[in-house]
Chains A and B, each alone.
Chain A
Amino acid sequence: MSPNERPRPWPARLIDTESAAPEPELQARPELEVELQSVLRAWANEPGPSEEVIRRAARQAVDHFEVQQPITTRSWKWPAFLRSGRIALALAAVLLVPIGAALASKLLPARLSRLGDWFGGRHAIRSSETPSQNQIPSPPALSTGDSLRDVVPEVVAPPAPSVMPVARPERPTHRAVASAAPARLAAPDADLLAGEASLVSQAIALANSNPRAALDLLSDYWHQFPDGSLRGEAAIAELSARLSLGEQAEALVRLDGFARDDFRGMKGTAEELRVARLELMAGAGRCGEALPLLEKELSVSAAAPRLRGRVLLAHAACKASSGDEAGNRADLKRYLIELPDGPRAAQVRHALGQ
């Protein structure tokens, strides 16, 4: 501020103003001024969090500080032109490897051509659902200088067709682990689970405060553990992070994907995710699709009351959007009957004019 410039006076606090209204709009509306003052005064007089709340939060934070691990989020990103370049490079590599291998098998000497056969044959089988006999790589040509020992194993045992489903090793049960070589079986499983838990717990912790970083971590999670044990928790964290970013449409796309997969491996969280999907569908105007599913949810009496309330409100919203005012009011009344102290009860009462 220059020395000639006069400092502007700070306005009087609305809360302190007894008679002279500080704003022109308030002068014309004395009742508004009174209302505003009474609310601000009541708010200012509200006690802050209790000592116990503060002590507990501090204790938990100090405990967390002791055990916390560095969060491995990617702090850099490829520039946009390089990102697109990387995709082009990857595509080129995918196309060039078999071409190169085919050329190699034609042009290079016999010993090298085995490598070409391996590449070419393997790729051909991979890209086909039903490998035919002629896709199995032909035995490499022998040159006079080759020793049989170098070549025979590959002639006798051509590479197995990769389209055959490879049996996934099952996770050992506790009993199995206890009975057979526990140290060797349990260690990788525990490590896997610890790795999963580390990624998911960090993502959950960041879902609100740094949703972008949480999504980066979750992207790593889905990549590393497509069939992980914490898929449900990861899905919840992703949903939370996407909603924090206001990405409702993307969240719905993800939930649609999980629903297509029947929320596989999400036993503990499937219900929550299913309800969130229906709410998002209602919000996105997909009521035609959502209404029968919502009705199905409502018919399940075992649903948790908290989720049931949400289903009822989504149902009410869909009824309203289809012009069924009576149905909407019936749902809102049902909400009050079933959840008179529910989290949205006050607003529902207000909506019903009660």
Chain B
Amino acid sequence: MMAVETESTDKARLEELYRLYGKQVARWATRLGGPRADASDVVQEVFLVIASKFKEFRGEAKVSTWLFRITQNVVCNRRKSERSWGWLKASADPVARGLPTSAADPSEPMELSDAKARVHKALDGLGEAERNALILFEIEGLSGEEIAELTGVRTEAVWMRLTRARRQLIRLLARMES
């Protein structure tokens, strides 16, 4: 009886967690996942992992930090897997080196679509920590302190990652242009 009650309380807490943070987690997942990630697929996987790890959460970290770590890990693993599968599924890639990594959206102007593909390809060339810091800062609009809190690292480390990411991104883009 007691166990059943605990289960139903846990379920209610989990539902509440999704209600409060679901949108935010889904946004992180799609932003970090990049244009190649299937939004509904990545959101579903992140939510499933949250559910499977829910009972392990002991409240030692902030809920948002815990959720972000899960999202970050899931996306990172998916990207790794995507790189392998992408390599596997696109055997033509070695044939056409330097291709943009994302498929073009027909609704976008051609120039923006090309530029977008170039920027995402350059972002793929960054380390995972640098890439995430850059996306959170530039696209999510978070402050350095907020990123530090979310990722669980010192503010100084965020500053370093961000600076490194920007330089590297620009260098990679410049190399592609030339």
Asked if A10 and B170 make an inter-chain contact with CB atoms under 8 angstroms apart, the answer reads no
User: Which residue on B lies nearest to A290, using beta carbons?
Assistant: B91
A-side contacts of B57, CB under 8 Å: none
Interface residues of B (CB under 8 A from A): 7, 10-11, 14-15, 18-19, 22-23, 26-27, 29-31, 39-40, 43-52, 54, 73-74, 77-78, 80-81, 84-85, 87-96, 99-100, 103-104, 112, 115-116, 118-119, 137-139, 141, 143-144, 156, 159, 162-163, 166-167, 169-171, 173-174, 177
- Known contacts A48-B30, A58-B15, A243-B85: does B96 contact A347 (CB below 8 Å)? yes
Q: How many A-B residue pairs have CB under 8 A?
A: 212
Whether A49 and B43, one on each chain, are in contact in the complex, defined by CB atoms closer than 8 angstroms, is yes
Across the interface, do A347 and B99 meet the contact criterion of CB distance under 8 Å? yes
Query: Can you report 30 residue pairs joining A to B where beta carbons are below 8 Å apart?
Result: A8-B159, A11-B163, A13-B138, A13-B141, A15-B139, A25-B170, A25-B174, A39-B119, A42-B112, A43-B139, A44-B141, A54-B22, A54-B23, A56-B44, A57-B47, A61-B50, A62-B18, A64-B52, A65-B51, A65-B52, A211-B81, A243-B88, A246-B80, A248-B88, A316-B95, A320-B94, A335-B92, A345-B103, A347-B103, A350-B100
| A282 x B95 contact (CB < 8 A) | no
- B96 — which chain A residues lie within 8 A by C-beta? 347-348, 350-351
Q: Mark A51-77, 1 if CB is under 8 A from B, else 0.
A: 101101110111011101001000000
Taking a contact as CB atoms under 8 Å apart, the answer to whether A61 and B156 are in contact is no
Residues 1-41 of chain A, each 1 if its beta carbon lies under 8 Å from chain B, else 0: 10000001011011100000011011001001001101110
Size class of the A contact interface (CB-based, 8 Å): 35 or more
Task: Please name the residue on chain B nearest to A320 by beta carbon.
Answer: B95
- State in angstroms the CA–CA spacing of A73 and B108 once bound together: 46
Q: A23-B170, A36-B119, A66-B7 are in contact. List 13 more A-B contacts (CB 8 A).
A: A15-B138, A35-B119, A38-B115, A49-B29, A49-B39, A57-B47, A65-B14, A205-B52, A207-B81, A210-B77, A245-B80, A318-B91, A320-B94
Chain A residues within 8 Å of B52, by CB: 64-65, 68, 71, 205
Tell yes or no: A113 within 8 A of B by CB. Answer: no
Judge whether A310 and B99 touch: CB under 8 Å.
no
> Whole-angstrom distance between the alpha carbons of A64 and B61 in the complex?
24
Which residues of the partner chain A approach B73 to less than 8 Å between Cβ atoms? 209
CA distance A240 to B93 in the complex (A): 20
Query: Is A280 among interface residues, defined by CB-CB distance under 8 A?
Result: yes
Indicate with 1 or 0, residue by residue over A233-273, a CB within 8 angstroms of chain B CB atoms: 00000001001111010000000000000000000000000
| Minimal beta-carbon separation of B14 from chain A (angstroms) | 6
Q: A44-B139, A350-B96 are in contact. Are A57 and B77 (CB under 8 A)?
A: no
Q: Is A346 in contact with chain B by the CB < 8 A criterion? A: yes
Residue of B nearest to A319 (CB): B95
Q: Do the beta carbons of B48 and A243 come within 8 Å of each other?
A: no
- Structural contact, A244 and B77, CB atoms closer than 8 A: yes
Alpha-carbon distance between A320 and B93 when the two chains are bound, in angstroms: 11
Contacts of B87 in A (CB 8 A): 283
From residue A337, how far is it (CB to closest CB) to chain B in Å?
Answer: 15
Question: In the bound complex, how far is the Cα of B77 from the Cα of A335, in angstroms?
Answer: 30
The answer on a CB contact under 8 Å between B139 and A32 is no
Q: Is the CB of B18 within 8 A of A1?
A: no
B95 engages A328 (CB within 8 Å): yes
Is the CB of A104 closer than 8 A to any CB of chain B?
Answer: no
Whether, in the assembled complex, A313 has its beta carbon less than 8 Å from a beta carbon of chain B, the answer is yes
Query: B19 — which chain A residues lie within 8 A by C-beta?
Result: 58
Chain A CB within 10 Å, residue with most, of B89, B103, B112, B118: B89
How far is it, in angstroms, between the C-alpha of A61 and the C-alpha of B10 when the chains are bound?
13
| Cα distance, A209 to B19, chains bound together (Å) | 24
